Amino acid sequence: QLQLQESGPGRVRPSETLSLTCTVSSYSISGTSYYWGWIRQPPGQGLEWMGGISYTEDTRYNPSLKSRLTMSVDTSKNQFSLNLKSVTATDTAIYYCARHVAGGSSSFFDHWGQGILVTVSS
């Protein structure tokens, strides 16, 4: 059964860079047509799609975050990562990684990590 697990610091200082990694187990992220995405959820609020990356490193970003966001993939470690720079308190959220079934005929997130709470504070 495919599993995803987020990892990274639980706290980041304002103006610094938030870095998270998602490790995928029981499934190879190479050679598949899926995207691997990040979705975040501020405390008590709704979901926001941040972006996604394919194993070929094709990236898609939410325009509202594009200037601060970089995603990467490491197929040798079966991981993908997120870097969000110049964070502020509004970036405090639970960050989820998920498999994004995306292509010409579908768009949905079928497997999710458990989420990691990242707090931006000094």
Partner 1 sequence: QSALTQPASVSGSPGQSITISCTGTSSDVGGYNYVSWYQQQPDKAPKLIIYDVKNRPLGVSNRFSGSKSGNTASLTISGLQAEDQAEYYCSSYTSSGTLVVFGGGTKVTVL
- Residue ranges binding partner 1 (CB under 8 A): 37, 39, 46-49, 60, 62-64, 96, 100-102, 105-110, 112-115
Q: Which is nearer to partner 1, 28 or 107 (CB)?
A: 107
Shortest Å distance, C-beta 8 to partner 1: 16
Q: Which is nearer to partner 1, 34 or 112 (CB)?
A: 112
Q: Which is nearer to partner 1, 15 or 114 (CB)?
A: 114
Q: Which is nearer to partner 1, 76 or 106 (CB)?
A: 106
Shortest Å distance, C-beta 51 to partner 1: 8
Number of neighbouring beta carbons within 10 Å of residue 107: 10
8 Å CB contact between 2 and 26: yes
Shortest Å distance, C-beta 70 to partner 1: 17
Query: Could you give the C-alpha distances from 48 to 12, 42, 74, 96, 116, in angstroms and in order?
Result: 20, 9, 24, 10, 15
